[in-house]
Amino acid sequence: MTKLSSNLSFRVAALFACHFFGFGLFLPFFPVVLETRGLSAAEIGFILGAGTIARIAASPVFSNIADRTGQRRLCILVYSLIGAAFIALFSLPGGLVVVTISVIGYMVIKAPVLPLSDAYALDVNRNTGADYARMRLWGSAGFVAANLIGGTLAAATSSWIILVLIAAAALATGAVAMSLPRQKRDDAHAQSAAGEADVPFKSVWFWPVLAVLGLFQATHAAFYGFGTIYWQAMDVPDFSIGVLWATGVVAEIALFTIAGKLALRFDPPIFLIVAGLAAIVRWGLFPFADTFVSMAALQLLHGLTFGASHLGAVAILAKVVPSRWAGTGQGLLATSIGIQMAIGLSISGALFDTDPNAPFYLMAAASVVGVVAMIALTPLVRQRMDAVA
């Protein structure tokens, strides 16, 4: 790798790190922030579920705007600035209405940032040979740092600092995006599959595959929405909760570090099937983990349940979606995840009030469905990937 491409890889890594630092505070600890505002578990589930539903439309639309205009970096800046403004709105008085607008607005406007960042990183991978997984792992590192910091700030008296840091992360993400150089796109790839101008979005086979790719990520819904609250109810100290979140992401980083070598031996569908099997074990045993050691052991599976499923999905889309429409493709994946995550969050919120263990059993069952569906679709996926290789 040349010095120039190494410098570019560093900046892309910084883009992921800044974005995921904010995400690493929002995802595990924002439910706690909402709880400090007096919201019930059902209200938290409704707001997060509604926010996920709202971003379903936003992600592909805003990502497509960036693809059509060729202004991915500028769009990341604009979306990040607006996201910081919505976080600022949260601090204003106004009760449930203001909280709902703030949270949903933030989730909607930040939805396309990761798909566009992934699309840019994939262009860098094509143009310079830089390892996508090694750039992306710094996003996970940012997430870990946020977990550890958030674990010390989750108390009611200091939760406002979480809001400040989330807003600062959004501003930093926009600043880094504008420091990146423009990338050329391999538009010739768009003509390589059966002459279809918008391959593969107009093909029937694409949509069930997209749904299954999203399902693997959506099986984390119960954990993302209520994992921290679940552990707090078990009297796990806040800092220990941060360590547990960080443990999972450290395992994810470890996988990303060696993913390039694994990809030489196993194709993307195998990554997804392994991720689903790990999810069955993780969520099926989650309610039985009653010590810190057992909780941490299950958190190590996050490297597979999230990391392997993410790498598998991104690799499949990178093969079958032209680089010109990479942002839209990644945005559609986010939409697939969002639809299923919204359903999972809403159902989990209702189940959690009745039986806190039930949402995790539901996630295990959904993982079984994902594994079976991926096994069935693997021949088709491999055929389509080979067709555009």
Per-residue pLDDT tens over the stretch 27-57: 878 888 888 877 887 888 888 878 877 888 7
The 10s digit of each residue's pLDDT in 77-104 is 999 999 999 999 987 877 788 889 999 9
State the CATH class of domain 3-387: mainly alpha
Q: Is the pLDDT of residue 326 over 90?
A: no
Confidence of residue 75 (pLDDT cuts 50, 70, 90): very high
- pTM summary value: 0.79
Q: In 356-386, which positions are buried (b, 16+ CB within 10 angstroms) versus exposed (e)?
A: bebbbbbbbebbeebbebbeebbeebeebbe
d(CA 349, CA 359): 8
DSSP 197: T
The more confidently predicted of residues 328 and 154 is 328
On the 0-12 / 13-18 / 19+ scale of CB atoms within 10 A, 271 is: buried
What pLDDT does 197 receive? 47
Task: Using DSSP, state whether 28 is helix, strand or coil.
Answer: helix
Confidence of residue 128 (pLDDT cuts 50, 70, 90): confident
Cα of 189 vs its chain's centroid, Å: 27
- Of all residues in the chain, what percent carry a pLDDT higher than 70? 93
Cβ pair 370, 276 in contact under 8 A: yes
DSSP 3-state helix, strand, coil percentages of the chain (rounded to 5)?
85, 0, 15
On the 0-12 / 13-18 / 19+ scale of CB atoms within 10 A, 129 is: exposed
Structure tokens at 151: 């674990």
The 10s digit of each residue's pLDDT in 138-185 is 998 898 888 788 877 876 667 788 889 999 999 999 999 999 988 776
Cβ pair 369, 215 in contact under 8 A: yes
